[in-house]
Amino acid sequence: MSWSKLKQELESFLSPALIGRFEYRATGYRYLPDKAGLCYIAVDKKNVMNMSDATTSIRWYQTEQEIKHDPHIQIAIEQEEIEALRKETKGLVPEERLVVMARGRRIGELAKELLSAQTALSKSNFTVVATQFLSRPIEESLESKEILFNILALADRRVGKKRLLNMSEKIKSRHPVVQYFYALRLSTL
């Protein structure tokens, strides 16, 4: 599918409140076949997310430790996780320490997910991901581990107010760029 057709398809699914504010852009190099070009998303005419560059206005993580020590990431610990740790430690660890251990494990898992999603995004071909997005259910894109699927779904008109509000806890554990687009969409409600 050509870029202009793909862009038109994506923009036809934009939330009405984002029309005119949210824009898909791409540059191509016709005479340089080894250069794929750039794809980026602009909000209010400002390039917010460049698919092939880590120098965007969104925070990109370099290490797992940065994620672990980021105070903006909030992790909800479930009782099942604490119970599993209690069984592992045979009940010898105090309750407060179990919560700390469970949180540490969850943050470690989250850090690995965020870094792998970030790496996949910087290598991804935007047109391939966007084409896949257009052919799959919106729920799959919202639940996906891939950042770009999440962003495209959050900008989609098929995601309504109720679904957005119900996602608030899940979004806290997602990549900052996904949190940015979630906040942008919430601001339009």
- Residue 122's pLDDT is what? 47
Domain hosting residue 172, numbered range: 3-62+115-187
Q: Is 161 inside a domain boundary?
A: yes
Tens digits of residue pLDDT in 119-137: 655 434 677 888 899 999 9
Task: For residue 25, list its beta bridge partners.
Answer: 40
Q: Is 89 inside a domain boundary?
A: no
- Residue 166's pLDDT is what? 93
Asked whether 93 and 101 are in contact (CB, 8 A), the reply is yes
- Residue 72's pLDDT is what? 75
The answer to whether the predicted template modeling score (pTM) of the entire model surpasses 0.85 is: no
Integer distance in angstroms from the first to the last C-alpha of the chain?
Answer: 32
SS (H, E, C) 123-166: HCCHHHHHHHHHCCCHHHHHHCCCHHHHHHHHCECCCCHHHHHH
Q: Is 94 inside a domain boundary?
A: no
- Residue 53's pLDDT is what? 46
Q: How many domains would you assign to the chain? A: 1
Q: Is 85 inside a domain boundary?
A: no
Surface-to-core class of residue 88, CB atoms within 10 Å of its CB (0-12 exposed, 13-18 middle, 19+ buried): exposed
Dihedral sign from CA coordinates of 48, 51, 53, 54? positive
Tokens of 130: 């966007």
Q: Is 126 inside a domain boundary?
A: yes
Q: Is 70 inside a domain boundary?
A: no
Q: Is 32 inside a domain boundary?
A: yes
- Residue 33's pLDDT is what? 52
- The CA distance from 179 to 163, in Å, is 15
Tens digits of residue pLDDT in 4-33: 888 899 999 999 999 999 998 877 655 555
Q: Which residues of the chain have pLDDT under 50?
A: 53-56, 122-124
